[in-house]
């Protein structure tokens, strides 16, 4: 699907409202989301059928030229094939006309994106962990969601209703004045709408093209370094030397006692079992809904706290310096994973990047992942060889500076804002020329992988990562996707 490009002076923003549908409207919402899931499963089955057929024919010795053709998974191809199959397929023949075409298009678009991500991952063109082939979505576990891109999508003039294709007018749980005012003034245009079921409540998210004027920050000449942590959520040091600390709310830890009690209640009820086909009891569904509400409340509290923090930072400083943290790697630490996830390091970085560009057009500087902000002395620039995590006070062996570990890191990050023009990026060494790091190293040494043994028992040299990627890139797409 082609990505929408906003006009100059406009930004794409989401407006999310909770819905209050009646019984008939909720049944229609569930029907549309179920139709999207059914279309997704059909697309996965239709594409992978040719994969398994070719695999079976190859086992019988069928020549390459006579094998079954690969089925394409682009959205136009899936839509054309689905329109042909929906009249003959018994799974869709009786009820496909009850829902909007956008419901089926949602499932087909998701399937096309899933196959694209899988192909890019297999060919080494996608960052992150390798993705497996798309799988069927379970009726019980699949998230209820549906996206509308065409048809009647608007906000009612009374500010308490929204209109969606085939679903009609649905009352909202909260006023829609913040979007209605912009639409009536001509400074906003609704592009699409997505309905989603979360924690027992329906939500409608509108993708809107909004005309937004940039707001001048309070201190455009000041720079701030933001050092994220677990004990304190953020330590901010600006270019004037002022240091501020934001405590970690720890919303999950505060609700942990209630979550454990609710989880224990759910485990003692008769839940679903796919192996035996057992359906959940009413008491299990009630207890599971209560547990979901607790998790939803924690998520809302965390989101509210992060938005307040990032909004305050981007509205005050002209330059914001953050670290390029490896959050996915940090979550592998079983001792700190829960607290790191509760702090929301990745979400803070995303919000800062978005708000600095779209609201204030301020400068954001991302420190290198291997920049030793905690090990570097903010007074003289000396770098410690090791600084364990349990050592919370930084003591410089060169100049004798004694400072809190997080305060020291925040000062060094703030100095990076002017490092490219005035110095080395060390808080106490702004006017000196750039010098190399100790021993000339500014990257962590790459760990060598052990050599794998071949079937004969000898150590065989495996292909290098870049060689494997080049081989997969040169290999035809069909062969790269063979199951």
Active-site residues, by number, are 227, 323, 406
Structure tokens at 244: 């501020």
CA 236 to CA 231: how far, in whole Å? Answer: 14
In the chain the first and final C-alpha atoms are separated, in Å, by 26
Spatial separation of the C-alpha atoms in residues 66 and 89, rounded to whole Å: 27
Separation CA 315–CA 237 (nearest Å): 15
- The Cα 476–Cα 29 span in angstroms is 42
CB 104 within 8 A of CB 92: no
How far apart CA 413 and CA 322 sit, in angstroms, is 7
Ramachandran class of 186: left when φ > 0, alpha when ψ lies in -120 to 50, beta otherwise: left
What dihedral angle (degrees, nearest 10) is formed by the CA atoms of 285, 290, 295, 301? 150
- Cα distances (angstroms) measured from residue 311 to each of 15, 163, 354, 366: 17, 31, 10, 18
Q: Catalogue the E-assigned strands of 19-155.
A: 145-148, 154-155
């Amino acid at each position: 699907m082609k990505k929408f490009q906003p006009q100059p002076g406009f930004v794409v923003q989401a407006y999310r409202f909770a819905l209050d549908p009646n019984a008939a409207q909720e049944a229609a919402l569930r029907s549309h989301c179920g139709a999207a899931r059914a279309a997704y499963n059909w697309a996965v089955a239709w594409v992978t059928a040719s994969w398994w057929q070719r695999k079976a024919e190859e086992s019988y010795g069928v020549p390459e030229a006579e094998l079954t053709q690969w089925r394409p998974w682009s959205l136009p191809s899936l839509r054309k094939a689905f329109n042909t199959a929906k009249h003959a397929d018994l799974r869709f023949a009786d009820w496909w006309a009850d829902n909007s075409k956008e419901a089926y298009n949602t499932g087909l678009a998701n399937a096309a994106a899933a196959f694209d991500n899988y192909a890019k991952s297999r060919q080494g063109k996608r960052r992150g962990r390798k993705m497996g082939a798309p799988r069927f979505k379970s009726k019980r576990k699949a998230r209820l969601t549906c996206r509308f891109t065409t048809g009647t999508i608007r906000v009612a003039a009374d500010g308490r209703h929204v209109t969606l294709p085939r679903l009609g007018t649905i009352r909202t749980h909260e006023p829609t004045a913040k979007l209605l005012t912009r639409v009536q003034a001509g400074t906003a245009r609704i592009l699409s709408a997505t309905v989603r079921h979360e924690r027992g409540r329906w939500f409608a998210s509108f993708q809107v093209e909004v005309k937004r004027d940039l707001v001048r920050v309070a201190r455009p000449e000041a720079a701030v370094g933001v050092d994220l942590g677990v004990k304190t959520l953020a330590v901010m040091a600006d270019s004037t030397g002022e240091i501020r600390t934001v405590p970690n709310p720890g919303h999950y830890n505060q609700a942990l006692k209630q979550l454990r009690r609710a989880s224990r209640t759910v485990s003692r009820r008769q839940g679903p079992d796919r192996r035996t086909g057992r359906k959940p009891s009413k008491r299990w569904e009630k207890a599971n809904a209560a547990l979901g509400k607790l998790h939803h409340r924690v998520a809302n509290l965390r989101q509210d706290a992060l938005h307040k923090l990032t909004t305050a930072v981007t509205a005050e400083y002209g330059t914001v310096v953050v670290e390029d943290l490896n959050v996915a790697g940090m979550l592998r630490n079983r001792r700190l994973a829960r607290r790191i996830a509760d702090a929301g390091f990745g979400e803070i970085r995303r919000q800062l990047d978005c708000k600095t560009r779209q609201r204030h057009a301020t400068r954001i500087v991302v420190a290198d992942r291997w920049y030793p902000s905690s090990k570097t002395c903010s007074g003289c620039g000396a770098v410690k060889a090791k600084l364990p995590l349990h050592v919370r006070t930084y003591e410089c062996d060169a100049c004798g500076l004694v400072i809190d570990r997080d305060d020291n890191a925040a000062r060094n990050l703030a100095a990076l804002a002017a490092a490219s023009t005035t110095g080395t990026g060390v808080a106490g060494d702004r006017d000196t020329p750039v010098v190399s790091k100790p021993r000339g190293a500014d990257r962590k040494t790459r760990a060598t992988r052990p050599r794998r043994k071949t079937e004969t028992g000898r150590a065989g040299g495996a292909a290098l990562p870049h060689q494997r990627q080049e081989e997969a890139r040169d290999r035809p797409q069909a062969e790269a996707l063979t199951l």
